[in-house]
Every structure is written in C-alpha cells, then in structure tokens.
Structure 1
Amino acid sequence: MPVPRNLTGTLKSIAQSAFAASSHYDKYRPSFPPKPVQALLDGLKISGVYGAKVIDLGAGTGKFTEVLARRQEGYDIIAVEPHDDMRRELEQKKLVNVDVVKGYSTDMPVEEKSVDAVIASQSPGIYCISATIVDSDQSISSRFADESTLQEVHRVLRPKQYLGMIWNIEDYNAPREWNPTTSYEAKLKEIIWSLSDTENRFRHNKWREVFERQGEKSADASDVAERRLFTYPLEETSVPFVANLPKDDVWNRMRSLSHIANSTAEEQERIRDRVYEALNDKDAVNKDGLVSIHGKTYVAWTQAI
C-alpha cells in the first residue's frame, strides 16, 4: 500500500474548472492502441514481468490505467491523481489491482525505491501535478516543468528502473512542424493554434527541456554527473493511428482539451462554429458519413541513473 505523506499541493482554479466535467473527458478521449503500448512496456522492461509495481502518474479518469489493468502481467498499479473529480471517476471503475491515491508529481504517497516503473500519459497537461501550484494569473508549470518532479520520480523508482511517457497526438493538436494528413485537419490545427493558451503542451515541444537541463547550473562536471537523474537523449518512437468519428464526436473530443473546456460558453460556441466549418470541407466526410481523424501515439522513456 502507498504510504501516507503530507500532500501540500493544491490545484489552481483554472485546472479544477477545466476538468470538472470528468465524465465528458472520459467518454470522448481515446484509449491507447496496443502496438505503442507494447513498445513502451518493452522499453520500460516490464513487459512479461508478472506483478511489477507501476505508478500511473496523473492517471486522470484512468484511460491508461485501464490499459495497464487489462494486461496479463497482473501489474500492481498505483494510480496517482490530484484532481478530485477525475479520481472519483477512476475509482468508480473498480479496476483490479489498482490503488487510486491523491498525489502530485513532486509529492507521491509512495515508499522510496519501491516501484518498477512510472508512466505518465498525455503529459504534460494543464492540471499541474506539482506540489506547489502557481497563482491563477500565472502560467501553470507542466507535469515535467522542473527538476523537482524528476527528483520525486527518481525517489520512488527502484535503482536503474524507468520513467515512461505516452501521448495520443491528433494531427490537429500536433507541433507546428508536423504536417496534417488532410486539408480539413490542417484547418482544425489552425483553430487550435489560434486559441489563447499560455500552458506548455506536447505540441509546444517543451516537454524534453527538463531532461536536457539536468545538472545545467553546475560548473563542476562531477557535480553535473551526480545531479543528472535520468538518461538523455530519451528513447522515442511513434505509431500512426486513424479514428473514424461522427462530426459531433470530433467536436466533443476537441472540446475535452482543457484550454477549450475552460473557455466561456460564448467562446466555445465560436470555436464550435469554426470546427464545424472545417468539417464541412468536401473531403472531410467519408462514404459512411464519418470523419477520419489522423494522428500518432508517441512514446518516450528514460532510465534512472
């Protein structure tokens, strides 16, 4: 069982409101395809390891927790999630071998050197898991925004074990340099990039920086080696996917994105109109009346030093 700790973190109001509709998030966010999941578990060296102890960090409503819980390895899973509504949504699923706990990326109620892997899915997200949240008029740091998160992950990992990350990245929510598969997805991407959003997300390509920065401030090379907690460069791979959805489900998936979910009703209506205009593109709907949404499931992992 996870050990109780003095969890001092709180979620700032923007994060709480963004994920208040947790059931909507759970319904419309996609699960994770088998092939990239297998690649991640292979990279973490826990595929086929029966009873391995795994932390699902920032588990949310349990989209990735469910994937882990279905595995034949019978993983002993600790789902760490700071958001009360999301945690309740996950608890209601009553997943086997899953202990759902309140925690933050910098403060997990988990014993030192006790787990075989830590996995964060759809990270970084708008709701920060760090133990100290900035004021509501400032930018929220991402899940891996500072080295204190890496220190906490390193603390709970057994020696030489792994931290893994996995994201479903639709073409419309991808980095600028990724080319959308279709013209209508290019229009959707322009909508996403045009919206006011001060938070760091996968598409901003900032998530690697904390790994790059390890030990950066020290002038003493030996000290740098001591302070570097995880191997770098990261191991990375990706697998393409396509989801065929009704137009309404495309919009519902898009509005589950936190910076849209946190918009006012009037703002959401304007965004919705732009989305449906893009989906009225002559090439958007296939013969079955569905919209093909393309993307990649992106996977990365690193070993504790």
Structure 2
Amino acid sequence: MSTPLVKAASSGFHDASAYDAHRPSYTDAAVNAFLGHLNALDAATDGKQIPQKIVEIGAGTGKFTKVLSRKAMQAAAKGSGQSIEILAVEPHEQMRAQLSAKNLPHVTVVDGHGANLSMVDDNSADAVIVAQAFHWFANYEALKEIHRVLKPGSFVGVIWNIEDYNKPAAWPAKADWEQGLNDIIYSLALDGSPRFRDGQWQRAFDAVAVPDAIANRPALYSPLADDRVYWTVQLTPEALWNRLLTLSQIANLPETGPNDEQEAVAGSTAQPTSRATVRRRFDAVLARDDVKRNDKGEVTIHALTFFAWAQKLAV
C-alpha cells in the first residue's frame, strides 16, 4: 500500500493530460549538470560504471522519466553491455496511467510513494531522483526510506522547474509584470499543502544531515548542495494561462464564485475564490504596457531549474 496522496495533489492533478501537455520539460544543460552530480547515466564515464538502477519517486506523467529513458538508451548504445533499469514510482492513478501508456524504454512504472518503496531492495539503487515532487513528501520517513534503498555512497537528487510567476517571494522576478503574476499566486488562499516556494523540503534535508540525539537518530546524508540553470520560454498568453491551471491552488478553485463581481473591481486585492477571478487578474497583468511580445504574440517567461543533491552516509 502506498502512502495516501495529499488531498490537494489528488484533486489538483486529476486532469493528468493537462499536466502532461502544459508543464515544461527540462533543458539539456540542467539535466546534464544534475545527473553529473549524481554520477548517473552518461555522466558516469572515464572507466566509471554506469549505474544500473535509478529509482524516480513521484514520476507523475513522466516529464523527467522521458529524459531518463532517453539518457538510458544513449548510455546503453555506448556498448557497455549493462542493463539499465529506471523504476518510476507514482501514487496518483491518472498520472501513473499516462506514464505507463508511454511505454518508455528501460522504464518500469509502479504504484508507490516516497515513504513506501517496498518494491525496492535494500542498498540496491545507484541513484534516487525526485523531479517536481519532493515538497509533497519532505519528511523524515521518506528520507529514511530513500536512504534504505540507496547503495552506500550513492546520491539522492531533487529537481524543480521554477518559473518567475511561481517563485519564492524572496527571489526577484526578471520583469515587473512577472512579479505581478507572482503576486496573484501569493494572493490565493493557503490550503495547507507543501510547495517548493515554502522551503519546508530543504528543512527536511537539513534535519537529516546532523545527528538527532533526542530522537536517537543518526545523520543519514551529507549536507545538501545545490545549483541552478536559468532559461526562458516563449508562450502565448493562453498557453501561459493553461500552465497556471496546472497549479493545484488554481486547479482546485471552482470555475465561478459568489464574490466574482466584488473581486473583479479594478485593483482589488481580495483573495480570489474562483478561477474566473484569477483569470481576470491574469488578463489585467498581461495587458500591461511593460509586457513585451514577439511577432507571434508570445511573451517571454523567465525561469530556472533548481536542483540539489545529498550523499548517503553509513549509519
């Protein structure tokens, strides 16, 4: 049995096809740097053994799994003769179905969760990867379970694509209008769900990088290291709106609400209670004079890929 999903994730990601269609993939620069820190796949050269088993937790519809599959095929084509297995673990039924339907080479899709990897043997994984998901299960139980399945000295890595509209509040936006979109995101009601921007995921790693004498827990990992790769993407306003609709805080709102007229007043900072209100505020930001468009009417979205890694310690 896998650990039950957080309610916001279960309902917010019910339209798995929309998530698959509108969420961004990962740049080659970010992927190569990330896998290099994990000593994974084609990063393992110069006589080093290519890792044979990678466990990806929270694989979703396979945005990062597709990248791993492609890298595995490239590594296998080098003639190493090794069998490379990617175990894609995903608890959300609709997302798991989307991923399974892709029939990705070297990939086995299973039901599971960060705190329950019972299908993986002790000390068997060459790397554990969590893409765009660790904030949903950033706790001691998951990190202990990941520690169990990792081979001695191997790495766990976490990675996120973060657009400026969904960045942590302390990070500066590259454009004022993108900060306007970020302000809309922060005006939404808190639903108690963890997110990358709240930093709780990092505190979970910090807690297991040192011994806990009170709880009689040893340190499980080396201190977390991190890096980032910056990138941009051009999107039409409608494509950008579709991307925002994959955020659970917006996806879980009703289409319309009883306070839509009050919330539609120009300059209103009232908490949006419907997707219609969020859309009106979105349209107002996109109508600003400082929004630059190309010949196709697309706007430039600034973003970065943030990734971090830690090494398993002996206990």
State TM-score, norm by structure 1. 0.87
Question: Is residue 51–residue 73 contact of structure 1 (8 Å, CA) maintained in 2?
Answer: no
Structure 1: tracts of 5 or more residues without a match: 1-6, 126-141
1:290 corresponding residue in structure 2? 298
Amino acid at match of 1:237: D
Amino acid at match of 2:166: N
Question: Is residue 163–residue 302 contact of structure 2 (8 Å, CA) maintained in 1?
Answer: yes
Question: Is residue 53–residue 117 contact of structure 1 (8 Å, CA) maintained in 2?
Answer: yes
1:55 corresponding residue in structure 2? 55
Instruction: Count how many residue pairs are aligned between Structure 1 and Structure 2.
Output: 277
Question: Is residue 54–residue 127 contact of structure 2 (8 Å, CA) maintained in 1?
Answer: yes
Question: Is residue 52–residue 126 contact of structure 2 (8 Å, CA) maintained in 1?
Answer: yes
* 1:3-59 deviations in Å (ceiling 9; x for gaps): xxxx25223544322111000000000001111111111100122353521111100
Question: Is residue 62–residue 90 contact of structure 1 (8 Å, CA) maintained in 2?
Answer: yes
Give the superposition deviation at 1:216. Answer: 5.8
* 1:142-180 deviations in Å (ceiling 9; x for gaps): 321x21111100111111100001110001111111111
SS at match of 1:54: strand
Question: Is residue 160–residue 307 contact of structure 2 (8 Å, CA) maintained in 1?
Answer: yes
Fraction of identical pairs, as percent? 37
What is the CA–CA distance in structure 1 between the aligned matches of 2:229 and 2:18, rounded to whole Å? 26
Alignment of 1:186-201 (within 5 A): 186-197=179-190, 198-201=192-195
2:18 corresponding residue in structure 1? 24
Deviates more, 1:203-212 or 1:25-34: 203-212
SS at match of 1:27: helix
What is the CA–CA distance in structure 2 between the aligned matches of 1:271 and 1:299, rounded to whole Å? 30
2:269 corresponding residue in structure 1? none
Q: Within the alignment, does 1:115 sit opposite 2:125 as a pair?
A: yes
SS at match of 2:279: helix
1:78 corresponding residue in structure 2? 87
What is the CA–CA distance in structure 2 between the aligned matches of 1:9 and 1:210, rounded to whole Å? 18
* 1:54-105 deviations in Å (ceiling 9; x for gaps): 1111000000000111111244100000000000000111100100000010
Change (3 A) 1:175 1:12: closer
1:230 corresponding residue in structure 2? 221
Amino acid at match of 1:229: L
Give the superposition deviation at 1:219. Answer: 4.6
Question: Is residue 247–residue 291 contact of structure 1 (8 Å, CA) maintained in 2?
Answer: yes
Within the candidate set 256, 274, 291, 2:281 is matched to 274
Alignment of 1:1-305 (within 5 A): 7-46=1-40, 47-48=43-44, 49-50=49-50, 52-71=52-71, 72-74=74-76, 75-108=84-117, 109-125=119-135, 142-144=136-138, 146-197=139-190, 198-214=192-208, 217-219=212-214, 227-232=218-223, 234-266=224-256, 267-288=274-295, 289-305=297-313
Deviates more, 1:280-289 or 1:82-91: 280-289
Amino acid at match of 2:96: R
What is the CA–CA distance in structure 2 between the aligned matches of 1:245 and 1:254, rounded to whole Å? 12
Change (3 A) 1:219 1:21: closer
1:131 corresponding residue in structure 2? none
Question: Is residue 279–residue 285 contact of structure 1 (8 Å, CA) maintained in 2?
Answer: no
Give the superposition deviation at 1:263. Answer: 1.3
Question: Is residue 117–residue 163 contact of structure 1 (8 Å, CA) maintained in 2?
Answer: yes
State TM-score, norm by structure 2. 0.84
What RMSD over aligned residues (CA atoms) do the two structures have, in Å? 1.6
Larger Rg: 2
Structure 2: tracts of 5 or more residues without a match: 77-83, 257-273
Question: Is residue 69–residue 96 contact of structure 1 (8 Å, CA) maintained in 2?
Answer: yes
